[in-house]
Amino acid sequence: MATRGECALEPGGELTDLRPLFESLTASVPAPTGEADAPLQVLVTSVQPNDYLGPLALGRVMQGTIEDGQRVSLCHRDGSTEQASVTALFDYEGLERVETDRAGPGDIVAVAGMEGIGLGESLSRAEDPVPLEPLHVDEPTLSMEFRINDGPMSGLEGTFVTSRQLRERLLKEAEDNLAIRVEETDSADRFIVSGRGELQMAVLIEQMRREGYELCVGRPSVITKEIDGQTCEPYERAFADVPEEHTGVVIEKMGERKGVMAGMTNHGTGRVRIEFEVPSRGLIGYRTVFRTDTKGTGLLTRRFEEFRPWAGEIEGRTTGALVADRRGQATGYAAMNIQERGTLFVEPGDEVYEGMVVGENSRPQDLDVNMTKEKQLTNMRAASADALERLAPPRDLSLEEAIEFIRGDELIEITPEAFRLRKRHLTPDARHKAAA
């Protein structure tokens, strides 16, 4: 009915236009409580870049009046203040942003000229500013290594491939997203990015991939703290809403990841809500496992709880990797022989290179394989030459599955065209030296 522009005040009532809906909103939503002549307070909830006006601070006027050309104070999270001038002021009419001369309490505004303002900070009057309480943002609990793509296929598929371009993009993300932090390292080609879980990191990686960036990322690691002489790690409270028949496998898998069940509620509708306290590192890569175990019917949510003492080792991948030993195109003949060793990630015709992870070995050790080997053509015939040969389809890893799969000595190569797994050190000699 909403798509037709119709509504009713109660179920089964007479359908009219949307006027009753807007009148109900006007009657139910309280009016702004701020005074127009009080000291100016604007809570900034977003910062949008603009090529002509610079960064636009978007927020709500809590009290006071803001005018075009006015001098204001930028009240930062650390308690410091600095002054700036309003170079342009915009209000909203419906979904349209329109320029205005002034705005009062309750107005949603976009303010230009606020260079250096951050999310959750506030604007106030220039003299004797009265800042608002900054918005609280949960601390990052997980970090990942971002680095340039230095593999043999670097620059073939992406537009932005240099360390300068990668650095600028990451710093811009940190400015726009309070939950993301970027640390520079002793290498100009490598950065440590911290965030609120592997899902947030995967979203950032996917955004950069679609924008044309090429990069490599390492395995996520949790951020630890020293509290009262103990090494502590972040814990999260996870809520799983699953059908009754899948509760056993969910509890079992959570137990393997050091999770402790804190509660269970049976709604009597065939679904059960289970609550867990689990280390953040235990949830790395679990979302994919959860979807598989519940056949896509489960719902999983999580939130940061607190830092607690280190829970001990959590068993990770117990299998090795099949590593290509030369560059070329993968062939069906080579894949036919190698698939007996494990599960392949590539198919005939894919480009491979030395050090690229082309599959998962069924044994714990890594195994170098020749994925480009071709069948020798001769005039000899064998009785079994016409036997039917079947090549198993490759395992197509999603980004989240790839993040879960890699070890500390492996990287994910991200390009606009594909995800590839590779060793951190491409040649066998370099890998042996790094392991020594």
Query: What digits encode the pLDDT tens for the residues 297-338?
Result: 999 998 888 899 998 888 877 889 999 999 999 998 899 889
Query: What digits encode the pLDDT tens for the residues 332-347?
Result: 889 988 988 899 999 9
CATH number of 225-309: 3.30.70.240
Please give the radius of gyration of the chain, using alpha carbons only, rounded to the nearest integer: 28
Q: Please name the fold of domain 41-125.
A: Elongation Factor Tu (Ef-tu); domain 3 (2.40.30)
> Residues of CATH 3.30.70.240 domain(s) within the chain?
225-309
Query: What digits encode the pLDDT tens for the residues 181-240?
Result: 999 999 889 999 998 888 889 899 999 999 999 999 999 998 999 988 899 999 999 999
Residue 217, both tokens: 């990322």
Quick one: pLDDT at residue 388?
46
> Residues of CATH 2.40.30.10 domain(s) within the chain?
41-125
E strands of 249-341, at which residues?
260-266, 271-279, 299-309, 320-324, 328-329
Is residue 257 over pLDDT 80? yes
Is residue 387 over pLDDT 50? no
Task: Tell me what the mean pLDDT of segment 21-26 comes to.
Answer: 86
- Residue 326's alpha-carbon distances to 201, 330, 352, in angstroms, are 31, 10, 8
With residues binned 3-state (H G I as helix, E B as strand, rest as coil), the percentages for the chain, rounded to 5, are 20, 35, 45
pLDDT confidence band for 74 (50 / 70 / 90)? very high
pLDDT confidence band for 163 (50 / 70 / 90)? very high
List the one residue out of 55, 57, 43, 58 whose CA is nearest residue 130: 43
